[in-house]
Structure 1
Amino acid sequence: MSDPHPFAPQMEYAFSIAITLSKPYWLKPTAMGATRAAIYATEGTIEGPGIKGRVVPMSGGDWPLQRPDGVIDFDARYLLELDDGTIVYLQNRGYRWAYTPEVAERMARNEPADPSEYYMRVSPKFDVPEGPYDWMGKHVFVGVAEKVPGANRIHYFKVL
């Protein structure tokens, strides 16, 4: 086994966001030949070491593009309200795709799928005021997501 690259990133768990989603509103197909949806953030929570709060209901959502190759290209934007009243703007970009057509069909029907059956990763950016949470706007994060019926749970890791 070779030594790790000297610049290989190290990561630290930061927090998880559990978000309940509205029903999707579909545009099938768009003028570009793909399928677009609008799915709104109805509620949710954020929790991790030293951070706790909620997803501001109906403050935004996701406008995913389902590509012809089956990959879902996320573009989600919504607000978080932390327990001390701090408002944080979140933008997530990422991808989800199933490892088999059978899993893709189950997920399209909003049925459970084990995280080992699909790839779902996001790259968030946070707009946050100066103060105790300004570290969120000074680091790169990687989110590893779980798709559950009617919701997502995303576990965020800070790149050190």
Structure 2
Amino acid sequence: MDGMHRFHPQFEHAFSISIALTKPYWIKPSARGDTRAAIYAASGTVEGPRLSGRVVPMSGGDFPLLRPDGVIDFDARYLIEADDGAIIYLQNRGYRWARSPDIAERMARNEPVAHEDYYMRVSPSFDAPAGPHDWLARHVFVGVAEKTPNANCIHYFVVL
């Protein structure tokens, strides 16, 4: 079993995306009996050692499902425009949940909370044009997100 260390993944910070969000639109309850929302990516910036650019305003957003157990199940899709003009499609799937009911209520009211008071992780995939950004479509990433009022900042790490 000691040889397993060579299979432990290594992570490298690739970039971070800061996104300003619109107000949420709620479907509650949906026909499924759960609560669904639509929240659009109003604007944003992409900054990091491996990718820089911007979120294309209103090119998409998140359509999360709020489960009865308090977990938010993300399904976000939007476009990034790299500094060189390349357009990149991003899809994020992931989860957010609060570590206590009090924290969940504060987050529902869009109040700031400490990063350690909640779990928010995403697993993105990318469609990128051939050329300098096609590495995005050949790697696995993990995103660790920060929730702030009316915004998210997601730090993306490429799995090496």
Q: Taking structure 2 as the reference length, what is the TM-score of the superposition?
A: 0.96
Query: Which residue does the alignment assign to 1:79?
Result: 79
RMSD of aligned alpha carbons: 1.2
Query: Which residue does the alignment assign to 2:128?
Result: 128
Gap regions ≥5 residues in structure 2: none
Is it true that 1:69 corresponds to 2:69 in the alignment? Answer: yes
| Cα drift, residue 3 of structure 1 | 8.0
Q: How does 1:54-65 map to 2 (within 5 A)?
A: 54-65=54-65
4+ long deviations beyond 3 Å: 2-6
Query: Which residue does the alignment assign to 1:149?
Result: 149
Query: Which residue does the alignment assign to 1:45?
Result: 45
Q: Percent of pairs identical after alignment? A: 71
Q: Taking structure 1 as the reference length, what is the TM-score of the superposition?
A: 0.96
| Cα drift, residue 51 of structure 1 | 2.1
Q: Provide Cα deviations, 1:117-138, integer angstroms capped at 9, x if missing partner.
A: 0000000000001111111111
Q: Provide Cα deviations, 1:71-106, integer angstroms capped at 9, x if missing partner.
A: 000000000001110000000000000000000000
| Cα drift, residue 44 of structure 1 | 0.1
Tell me the amino acid that sits aligned with residue 83 of structure 2: D
Tell me the amino acid that sits aligned with residue 122 of structure 2: V
Query: Which residue does the alignment assign to 2:159?
Result: 159
Tell me the amino acid that sits aligned with residue 130 of structure 1: A
d(CA) in 1 for partners of 2:6, 2:130: 32
Query: Which residue does the alignment assign to 1:13?
Result: 13
Find the residue that maps to 2:113 and give its secondary structure. coil
Q: Provide Cα deviations, 1:8-42, integer angstroms capped at 9, x if missing partner.
A: 11111100000000000000011111100000000
Query: Which residue does the alignment assign to 1:138?
Result: 138
Query: Which residue does the alignment assign to 1:96?
Result: 96
Give the number of the structure whose residues are more often helix, by fraction: 2
Compared CA separation, residues 102 and 108, structure 1 to 2 (3 A) = same
Gap regions ≥5 residues in structure 1: none
d(CA) in 1 for partners of 2:48, 2:115: 21
